[in-house]
């Protein structure tokens, strides 16, 4: 299952303020299958930074 949704900037407006921290995102895997690798990709994507910053990792339940 691939989720390609985005979060609206209305929930975390960046207005150039000092000390701004971006949103924290959490993921819950309700019933991951044992011995199956799950690739997780988190990316920042907008006009100026399309695919510039991303984090990839895998999880596996033994």
Number of domains in the chain: 1
Strands (E) located in 1-62: 38-44, 53-59
Asked whether residue 32 is domain-assigned, the answer is yes
- Rounded distance between C-alpha atoms, residue 62 and residue 58, angstroms: 13
Residue 51 has pLDDT above 60, yes or no: no
pLDDT band at 29 (very low <50, low <70, confident <90, very high): confident
Which residues, 6 or more positions from 20, have their beta carbon under 8 angstroms from its beta carbon? 14
Instruction: State the residue range of the domain holding 55.
Output: 19-62
Task: Evaluate if pTM is beyond 0.75.
Answer: no
Which residues, 6 or more positions from 36, have their beta carbon under 8 angstroms from its beta carbon? 60, 61
Percent of the chain past pLDDT 90, that is, above it, reads 23
Q: Give 13 or 46, the one with higher predicted confidence.
A: 13
Asked whether residue 10 is domain-assigned, the answer is no
């Amino acid at each position: 299952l691939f989720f390609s949704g985005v979060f609206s900037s209305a929930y975390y407006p960046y207005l150039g303020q000092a000390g701004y921290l971006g949103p924290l995102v959490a993921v819950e895997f309700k019933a991951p299958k044992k011995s199956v690798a799950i690739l997780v990709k988190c990316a920042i994507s907008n006009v100026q930074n399309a695919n510039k910053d991303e984090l990839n990792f895998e999880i596996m339940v033994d």
